Structure 1
Amino acid sequence: ADRMLSMDFEQELNKMLAVLPPERRTYLFSATMTSKVAKLQRASLSDPIKVEVSHKFSTPKTLVQQYLFIPAKYKDCYLAYVLNEFAGQTILVFSATCNGSQRVALLLRNLGFDAVCLHGQMSQPKRLGALNKFKSGQRSILIATDVASRGLDIPSVDVVINFDIPGNGKEYIHRVGRTARAGRAGRSVAFVTQYDVEVYQRLEALLGQKLPSFPAEEETVLIMLERVSEAQRIAARELREILATKGKGKRRRGEASAVAGEAEDEGG
């Protein structure tokens, strides 16, 4: 419910509720009780029953949470190291942007990882294709934006990696909630660079606990630096080619729309 409201569907929901019969059963599900969800509950439900199974901002008891403090310039290298540490498990890696998730997926594939990406700028068929590859086990690593943090049926995720730490605690709760579901065990690792310290401190204050660090010796991690640097260069080139192809497609569609508009004007 909170995701729909945060995407500005509040007006559409109100219109739908207005035409529904008064004698009905309405269920709202949300991992976090935001003010918008509470407002919708008061406005659209009659004598509602509120069921809370946990604290407003809490994580599953079966979830082991850790953080990794790293230099930003070696972030990709640390990601490759952590993924190797969790080899054989299903891993969901969160990136802050669409281009970022695409770049990381390209980088990892160039390093030999079976990664696939999922973000909001992909077409629906491509999104479903990527998701099905991950769910079926064809790919063990999914690189995603917050489009995958909720609302998707991903039954089994062993590890969540916050490659880009989220800006607020609510998103963190949703992200790590993709693992350790239904009583199962799960792991999460938050990457914290020198630029993320303040955000991370606010996150720990919200959680009410100091997270233990993930063990990683920089000397061991940087053994892969040369390979990762080469993969970064290849991924950057591939991403530029993908974006250039998309740009050409948009220009062609724009030109076609303009021609169609001119034809309509002449016909009118």
Structure 2
Amino acid sequence: MAAASEKTDGLEHEEETSKSSTFKELGVCDVLCEACEQLKWKEPSKIQKEAIPVALTGKDIIGLAETGSGKTGAFALPILQKLLENPQRLFGLILTPTRELAFQISEQFEALGSSIGVKCAVIVGGIDNMSQALMLAKKPHIIIATPGRLVDHLENTKGFNLRALKFLVMDEADRILNMDFEQEVDKILKVIPRERTTYLYSATMTKKVQKLQRASLQNPVKVEVSSKYQTVEKLQQFYIFIPVKVKDVYLVYILNEMAGNSFMVFCSTCANTQRVALMLRNLGLNAIPLHGQMTQSKRLGALNKFKSKSRSILIATDVASRGLDIPHVDVVLNFDIPTHSKDYIHRVGRTARAGRAGKAITFVTQYDVELYQRIEHLIGKQLDLYKTEEEEVMVLMERVSEAQRHAKMEMSEMENKKKRGKTMDNDDSEEATGVRKKMKTKRKH
């Protein structure tokens, strides 16, 4: 019976809020409304309209929202408003699946809370434990963490505990659980107060998420922006069917044909990401890799170069397919088709954000047909064929083969350096691009 009343609750709430078009009308206080204006948030997104009024009543929330829907604002604004009413250190904890997402959420909290002096700490792997322990000793208001590293500090950092915590947010909960953080999440739930407010945000409602919901939320209100797997309306989606051996040539052709746009190219492995980036650089294209084997500072560096538009092509693994707010991606290329169809939604969600148009092109080889059919089945529509002239594409064959050869040599050089114990990080330095090597060979000729 309770569940039924919650559902109707949500529906009434939907009718009420569909009219609201300002943060003030949702109940957000003046200081935070000003912060939204400074961030150029003109009006609340759908999930913000649904979630903020419920959150301000103090209820637990399960939020189902597609990627790029503004859900960080949906939980950050109510938490900051409650913090203003009841100032306290170690007030809120946000758990996220990836380091990049943690830094991004922290940026939003700091931007929204800059006028009220909010202090945040990002606690993730890949960064020195000691400096994090010092940050925690200063007792920030908000901690944004990946589960593994937070458990590490809860167990080993003297004097650090979350016994006074008032808010817990699990963002991208489906992915936290897919990455096998269940044990860590259980440990965290055991050491934080039961009397707290919990928001669970997820793009998809899996069995694991339902189990987590039962364990950690009390009479939650469900706010849902898209019940079906959706890709944004303004997104043009294409596929291109090609033999696997000419994939690189087609990639270079499309990048050249659509030059002037910003691209995200998704690969399935770290090694392929690195190889493609090196190959494109050898052809003089402005590409930068982003994958899990890079150090944290290199990942953030790569992301910043792409965000600031000093690089126009980001070659990435699925580490970047979710939650990263890169505002200006024009085209998403699925160079390697995703093995999990849901990842397709997240990848293409990098473009056509915030009402803008975008394109997504998926490469389908003879080995990918089944995976491709699964994607069409999931999104409930057929993709259009991206038309190319084979003769035009094949003109590039020779140059691409040469660039592939260079990239292969550079990859094995990196491998050898690693074996010799020199930690050669797959970075964005010019040495890693073969540029100098090519300059030298040109001089010899």
TM-score by length of 1: 0.90
Whole-Å separation in 2 of the counterparts to 1:38 and 1:183: 31
1:109 and 2:281 are equivalent in the alignment: yes
Which residue, 233, 245, 248 being the options, matches 2:420? 248
On the 8 A contact 2:235/2:351 being kept in 1, the answer is yes
Instruction: Summarize deviations over 1:202-256 as a string: whole Å, max 9, x none.
Output: 21112211110111111111111110010010011011111221222279xxxxx
Which residues of 2 match residues 73-222 of structure 1 at below 5 A? 73-222=245-394
Alpha-carbon distance in 1 for matches of 2:346, 2:205:
12
Do the aligned residues in 1 keep the contact of 2:341 with 2:371 (CA within 8 Å)? no
Is contact 1:69-1:193 (8 Å) kept?
yes
Cα distance in 1 for partners of 2:221, 2:334 equals 35
Q: Distance in 1 between matches of 2:312 and 2:387?
A: 22
User: Which residue is equivalent to 1:69?
Assistant: 241
**Stretch moving more, 242-251 or 231-240:** 242-251
Taking the aligned partners of 1:26 and 1:4, their CA distance within structure 2 comes to: 16
Distance (Å, rounded) in 2 between the aligned partners of 1:197 and 1:27: 39
> 2:282 is aligned with what amino acid?
N
1:41-97 superposed Cα distances (whole Å, 9 cap, x missing partner): 121000111111113321111111100001111100000011112211111000000
SS at match of 1:88: coil
Corresponding letter in the other structure for 1:173: I
Q: Which residue among 226, 235, 243 is the counterpart of 1:54? A: 226
Distance in 1, Cα, partners of 2:234 & 2:227: 15
Amino acid at match of 1:15: K
Greater radius of gyration (CA):
2
Aligned residues: 251
CA drift at 1:19:
2.0
Is 1:26 aligned to residue 160 of structure 2? no
- Greater CA deviation, 199-208 or 142-151? 199-208
Is residue 115–residue 140 contact of structure 1 (8 Å, CA) maintained in 2? yes
Higher relative contact order by CA 8 Å / sep ≥ 6: 1 or 2? 1
Matched, 1:237 2:433: no
Give the secondary structure class of the aligned counterpart of 1:15.
helix
**Map of 2:210 onto structure 1:** 38
Structure 1 unmatched runs, 5+: 252-268
* Separation of aligned partners in 2, 1:209 and 1:152: 26
Code of the aligned partner of 2:234: T
Q: Which amino acid aligns with 1:61?
A: E
1:128 & 1:191 partners in 2: Cα distance?
28
Partner of 1:14: 186
SS at match of 2:198: coil
User: Structure 1 residues 5-14 or 159-168, which shifts more?
Assistant: 5-14
* TM-score normalised to structure 2 length: 0.55
Instruction: Give me the whole-angstrom Cα distance separating, in 1, the residues matched to 2:355 and 2:362.
Output: 22
SS at match of 1:161: strand
- The answer to whether the 8 A contact 1:101-1:145 is kept is yes
CA contact (8 A) 1:32 1:56 kept: no
**Equivalent residue letter for 2:246:** Y
The whole-number CA distance in structure 2 between the counterparts of 1:7 and 1:249 is: 30
**What 5-or-longer segments of structure 2 have no aligned partner?**
1-172, 424-445
CA RMSD of aligned residues (A): 1.4
* Structure 1 segments of 4+ aligned residues over 3 angstroms from their partners: none
Residue type matched to 1:67 in 2?
A: Y
Amino acid at match of 2:408: A
Shift of 1:169: 1.1
Distance in 2, matches of 1:250 and 1:116, equals: 22
* 1:35 CA displacement: 2.0
> Is residue 33–residue 56 contact of structure 1 (8 Å, CA) maintained in 2?
no
User: Secondary structure at the residue paired with 1:42?
Assistant: helix
Going from structure 1 to structure 2, the CA distance change for 1:27 and 1:155 (only over 3 Å counts) comes to farther
